[in-house]
Amino acid sequence: MRVSLGGVELRNFEKPDEANLGGETFVAIRKFPGGTRSIQFMGADYRPITWNGFFIGQDAYQRMLKIGNMRTAGKPVTFATDIFSFPVVITSFYPDVKTEHRIGFSITLERVFDEKGGGAAPKDSIDKAALAIAKKSPSTPAASTTTTYVVQPGDTLSKIAARLKKDPNKWPEIASNPKNQQALKNGPHNLRVGVTLYV
């Protein structure tokens, strides 16, 4: 498989045996009485790509210098194979020079999402697919849309907000609606079964 780093085509023993893809998803989870949860996506993080290899041959020392110069420059370079390509920064590069024709090394790459320090981070292929699916799903009603709801046994405002507004944290919007003052005269946490709420 073809592998390149910053435009340098890696050869046999220079290439990684595998690419460490995937990583973590940062989420904020809030739990509410009754088992309702609010999960907010805070962004994706990817594990570093790291491997050991050897520069071998007449130009081993020059190739080692090229990769070393990419690390010291500290700028994003492209890590590419036959099936993926994305920007990375070389966070560590440790060559062990035994002879000028055989140089062992270890290297670590970190994926780059936002090179300018602002704006939306570029999406990888998995993120793009998830975004496409989200765009195809029906859009949520506008916040100004008002519907009525008859309170059922076991209902709470957060459960109703989760069901109808897709967010349990929006229950204060229901409680503060002037049309609900009579229905909530005993307080927002003492719902009476059968009353009608404007949501």
DSSP string, 20-41: ---EEEEEEEEE-TTS-EEEEE
Backbone Cα Rg of the chain: 27
Under the banding of pLDDT at 50, 70 and 90, the label for residue 131 is: low
pLDDT at 138: 53
Q: Which amino acid is at 107?
A: I
The 10s digit of each residue's pLDDT in 36-52 is: 888 887 777 888 889 99
Residues 25 and 68 sit within 8 Å (Cβ to Cβ): no
The 10s digit of each residue's pLDDT in 52-61 is: 999 998 999 9
Burial track 117-136 (b if 16+ CB lie within 10 A, e otherwise): eeeeeeeeeeeeeeeeeeee
Structure tokens at 84: 């993926």
Under the banding of pLDDT at 50, 70 and 90, the label for residue 120 is: very low
Residues 196 and 174 sit within 8 Å (Cβ to Cβ): no
What distance lies between CA 25 and its chain's CA centroid?
5
Distance CA 75, CA 69 (A): 10
**Model pTM above 0.85:** no
pLDDT at 130: 59
The 10s digit of each residue's pLDDT in 140-164 is: 444 455 688 888 888 888 888 888 8
Count of CB atoms situated within 10 Å of the CB of 171: 22
Distance CA 71, CA 76 (A): 9
Residues 53 and 96 sit within 8 Å (Cβ to Cβ): no
